[in-house]
Amino acid sequence: MSDELKHECAVAMVVLRRPPFATGDFGGTKLSLLLEKQHNRGQDGAGAAILRTRPVPGEVPYWIAKSASATPLVDVLGAIAKREISHGEAAATLVDMRRETRDVDGSSRVSRLTSSSERIFLGHLRYATFGKNEVAFCHPFVHEASELEHTLLLAGNFNLTNAHELFEDYSRHGSFPTSKADGYLVCELIAHELEQILPSRGGSLLSLQGEQETRSFGEETTPNLQASQTPSSGSNLSVALSKALANADGAWTLCGATGDGWAFATRDPHGIRPGFYYISDDVVSVASERPAIQAAFDVPPKAVKELPPGQALIISPSGEVSFHHLHISTFPQSHNSTLSHSSPRPCSFERIYFSRANDAAIHRERKALGAALLPQILKSAEADLSDIFFSYIPNSARIAFHGLLERIFHLISRRGAERQRCGDFTEFSQRLSLSAPLRDMIPRFGEVIVKDAKFRTFIADAAARREFYKHVYDVTYGLVRPGLDTLVVLDDSIVRGNTMKNAILPMLDRLEPKRIVIASSAPPIRYPDCYGIDMSTLGELVAFRALVNLIGGREKLLSLLGDSEFGSLGEDSKASPKVQVSKTPSSESNHPSNPLAPLYARFTDEQHCAEIARLLTPPGMKAEVKVVYQTVENLRKCLTTDFGHQTSKTWSLTSTTNNESRTTNHEIGDWYFTGDYPTPGGYKVLHKALENYLVNNSERSY
């Protein structure tokens, strides 16, 4: 992705089911590996907490470290490694890292732990898509109480569309929240429900399990390896989670622990945020990405399962594991529902860009996305294959680029047999001389542009800074034939287009190609996101700006909205420059609506892409610029069906075995492409974003 885009965070949890046989810091090492292998998901903040199994009165039952420095993960991993140093040194280190003043000596926060008494290890990596980039916003959050069963530690990868409403509701019921951080709010909501369910020490979660659950962690036990599906174990905790999340609208993967030794992980009912778990005789682990668990525990893909949407994975103090459906009395989309009954809508951007490509299924899917673009690329290139040079930007597009090349090689090798079988062979054959020797058909490709990761500039003058900004990228001369070649550059997605227009295209133009085709392996991003990706306003999206231009400008958009069923948007925006609340159907109704869908439908994909290309073309550009996007239809095929089998058996999606992961849901989360949001809050955010745009308000829409 050429645009800088902050996105979903990462969680990590390790729960020891019995004392480790390995020497050394087993739990701390595994947690550190899980965090390190997910560092791509959060570079603004990091945190870790470790829960003791037999806390001594007068000491805090957990150890915690957070950092929001320039190197937060380095800070936290260092603190984990050094946590068994003397009490005073540890306290000083943590206070400095966390930049807190209320505990000057840190003694109220830090206690010396030994590895034999540690059981639950919790970690988090943060991208500050919203909220300040401060240590106070870093996870894990802690709710402290005098009773262990009411003490709660929580880390989450989540975003709520109605956090403000939940905050106001929580305040109106007599509580006094001390922070507006959404992580703090969710932690307090869960803790509040635990206190309601367990009003005294006599109601400990342990009472649910009988005498065998009160065994000390240090005693020799043999926990049940298979996860129980019965509602008896951990039911109080699942009830607390259900009630706390009953009115939440958004996406989440949460990991947490109570002071008396219970641990849990839960995922939103639509499975928007990713979550995976691994269970063995010795350990339970949860993380945002499958390969992180595989690397930390050296296990095959089949051992790592997807955390079921709308359910809670609960681990008792004795190591028993159970799954619980989160039942609620009210949910925004239906009444008397079970969360897990909602249709899964996993975020497709995870597959396209966010998650690491060393997940076997994601690797195949990204290659399929690249291959699916070939017909559109060849049509837009308007050149023979011998006059096309293929490349990609940035590095995250490399896997899709491999899929594109494999598709070309596959068609070349099967050029006779594929004539009647492949839908894209007709276009391909027009660009290829079938009678030419095979060596003359090999496509030309290479890296023509590379990002200089070490480039920095502190120039204050805006014009000079723009000139320097282009040099964040270096180009390779001598690969593209000036005036002859069409240069095809593959990107993951084009969100805002600022980097493409101001840096990448000006540098590519120096190579003097005849034509430049920018191909996006994702469809055009037409709608804002509200579930954790940093694109909450409409005006920043180049696809939306293209729509406004095609319609005829902002005033024409106002007119069209005023003449439609969404007239309140247009009329309110004309009447007042300070529209605050949408009166459209989606704001008050259980039947969400999308006012932009019929406007997008007025234009073909070709018209839309042509206008985007015009917007992206910088002044003085010599080469012709064209833009092609993945279609939503092909996106769904690549991520959910056997599309790969239709292209190249060397990376066929049908080759997925039971030992490997793949997205098997009949639906995927594609709301940023289609406007089909999984929750009512998504439609409210869309309407608010549109209102903000109409009155020229650049504020976030949630």
Band (462; pLDDT cuts 50, 70, 90): low
Which of 204-213, 469-478, 490-499 is the most confident on average? 490-499
Domain closes at, from 296, 318, 344: 344
The answer for residues whose C-beta is within 8 angstroms of residue 558's C-beta and 6 or more apart is 570, 573, 574, 694
Distance, in Å, from the CA atom of 242 to the CA atom of 326, rounded to the nearest integer, reads 5
What average pLDDT does range 193-217 have in this prediction? 57
C-alpha 455: how far from its chain's center? 27
**105 with 185, same domain?**
yes
Task: Of 230-244, 338-352, 462-476, 683-697, give the lowest mean pLDDT range.
Answer: 462-476
Band (214; pLDDT cuts 50, 70, 90): very low
Tell me the backbone φ, ψ of residue 629, rounded to 5 degrees.
-120, 155
**552 with 511, same domain?**
yes
Q: How many CB atoms lie within 10 A of CB 629?
A: 25
pLDDT digits (tens, 9 = 90+) for 88-118: 333 333 433 433 333 333 333 333 444 558 9
pLDDT on residue 18: 85
**339 with 432, same domain?**
no
pLDDT on residue 357: 83
pLDDT on residue 453: 60
Distance, in Å, from the CA atom of 672 to the CA atom of 350, rounded to the nearest integer, reads 13
Distance, in Å, from the CA atom of 334 to the CA atom of 70, rounded to the nearest integer, reads 44
Closest CA to 231 of 164, 312, 155, 115: 312
Band (85; pLDDT cuts 50, 70, 90): very low
Residue 463: HSE in the Cβ half-sphere, 13 Å Cα cutoff:
0
Query: Which residue type sits at 588?
Result: E
Q: CA separation (Å) from 282 to 17, 36, 115, 123, 381?
A: 5, 22, 15, 19, 56
pLDDT on residue 285: 98
Q: Return the structure tokens found at 539.
A: 């005006």
Q: How many CB atoms lie within 10 A of CB 225?
A: 12
| pLDDT cut 90: percent of the chain above it | 54
**323 with 430, same domain?**
no
Band (564; pLDDT cuts 50, 70, 90): low
Distance, in Å, from the CA atom of 299 to the CA atom of 50, rounded to the nearest integer, reads 24
Which of 209-218, 225-234, 630-639 is the most confident on average? 630-639
pLDDT of 217 over the 80 cut? no
Q: Return the structure tokens found at 668.
A: 């995927």
**319 with 458, same domain?**
no
Q: Is 462 exposed, middle or buried (0-12, 13-18, 19+ CB in 10 A)?
A: exposed
**280 with 416, same domain?**
no
pLDDT on residue 130: 58
| Mode of pairing for the β-strands spanning 10-16 and 283-287 | antiparallel
pLDDT on residue 454: 54
**132 with 207, same domain?**
yes
Q: Is 508 exposed, middle or buried (0-12, 13-18, 19+ CB in 10 A)?
A: buried
Instruction: Report the alpha-carbon angle 268-272-278, nearest 5.
Output: 70
Whole-angstrom Cα Rg for the chain: 27
3-class secondary structure, 88: helix
pLDDT digits (tens, 9 = 90+) for 291-325: 999 999 999 999 999 999 999 999 999 999 999 99
Q: Return the structure tokens found at 505.
A: 């295209």
List alpha helices for 435-588, DSSP H: 462-470, 498-499, 505-509, 542-551, 554-562, 567-575, 585-588
Mean confidence (pLDDT) of the chain: 79
pLDDT digits (tens, 9 = 90+) for 583-628: 333 334 444 689 999 999 999 999 999 999 999 999 999 999 999 9
Residue with tokens 């024409």: 556
Residue with tokens 């579930």: 531
Q: How many CB atoms lie within 10 A of CB 136?
A: 17
The answer to whether residue 546 sits within a structural domain is yes
pLDDT on residue 216: 46
Q: Return the structure tokens found at 419.
A: 């004539």
pLDDT on residue 212: 36
pLDDT on residue 227: 53
The answer to whether residue 198 sits within a structural domain is yes
Distance, in Å, from the CA atom of 395 to the CA atom of 450, rounded to the nearest integer, reads 8
Residue 178: HSE in the Cβ half-sphere, 13 Å Cα cutoff:
4
Owning domain of residue 520: 357-694
Q: Return the structure tokens found at 173.
A: 């019921």
- Between residues 102 and 370, the one the model is more confident about: 370
**255 with 364, same domain?**
no
Q: Return the structure tokens found at 273.
A: 């945020």
Band (44; pLDDT cuts 50, 70, 90): confident
What b/e readout covers 509-546, taking b as 16+ CB neighbours within 10 angstroms? Answer: bebbbbbbbbbbbbbbbbbbbbbbbbbbbbbbbbbbbb
Sheet holding 263-267, edge to edge: 141-143, 152-160, 250-258, 263-267, 311-315, 321-325
pLDDT of 540 over the 70 cut? yes
Which of 143-147, 539-543, 660-664 is the most confident on average? 539-543
**394 with 507, same domain?**
yes
Domains of the chain: total: 2
CB 550 within 8 A of CB 607: yes
Distance, in Å, from the CA atom of 69 to the CA atom of 133, rounded to the nearest integer, reads 9
CB 290 within 8 A of CB 304: yes
Q: Tell me the pTM.
A: 0.83
Q: Is 127 exposed, middle or buried (0-12, 13-18, 19+ CB in 10 A)?
A: buried
Instruction: Report the alpha-carbon angle 471-483-390, nearest 5.
Output: 65
pLDDT on residue 568: 53
Instruction: Report the alpha-carbon angle 511-515-518, nearest 5.
Output: 95
Task: Of 62-71, 186-195, 649-658, give the lowest mean pLDDT range.
Answer: 649-658
pLDDT on residue 432: 60
**407 with 509, same domain?**
yes
What average pLDDT does range 218-225 have in this prediction? 49
User: Got the DSSP string for 385-420?
Assistant: GGGEEEEESSGGGHHHHHHHHHHHHHHHHTTTGGGG
pLDDT digits (tens, 9 = 90+) for 516-528: 999 999 999 999 9
CB 129 within 8 A of CB 533: yes
Task: Of 18-32, 49-63, 417-431, give the lowest mean pLDDT range.
Answer: 417-431
The answer to whether residue 2 sits within a structural domain is no
Q: Return the structure tokens found at 216.
A: 């000390």
CATH number, domain of 432, equals: 3.40.50.2020
Domain closes at, from 323, 344, 365: 344
CATH number, domain of 185, equals: 3.60.20.10
Domain closes at, from 322, 344, 366: 344
Task: Of 373-382, 433-442, 529-538, give the lowest mean pLDDT range.
Answer: 433-442
**517 with 472, same domain?**
yes
The answer to whether residue 519 sits within a structural domain is yes
Distance, in Å, from the CA atom of 237 to the CA atom of 382, rounded to the nearest integer, reads 62
Closest CA to 467 of 454, 457, 480: 457
Distance, in Å, from the CA atom of 405 to the CA atom of 415, rounded to the nearest integer, reads 15
Task: Of 335-344, 440-449, 551-560, give the lowest mean pLDDT range.
Answer: 335-344
3-class secondary structure, 287: strand
The answer to whether residue 3 sits within a structural domain is no
pLDDT digits (tens, 9 = 90+) for 239-259: 999 999 999 999 999 999 999
**332 with 367, same domain?**
no
pLDDT on residue 41: 85
Verify cis geometry, omega within 30 degrees of 0, for the bond prior to 394.
yes
CB 217 within 8 A of CB 317: yes
| Mode of pairing for the β-strands spanning 276-279 and 305-306 | antiparallel
The answer to whether residue 350 sits within a structural domain is no
Band (662; pLDDT cuts 50, 70, 90): very low
Beta bridge partners of residue 46, listed in sequence order: 67, 125
Q: Return the structure tokens found at 566.
A: 């969404």
- Between residues 189 and 652, the one the model is more confident about: 189
What average pLDDT does range 253-276 have in this prediction? 95
CB 326 within 8 A of CB 342: no
Instruction: Report the alpha-carbon angle 481-380-510, nearest 5.
Output: 35
Q: For the chain, how many residues are written?
A: 702
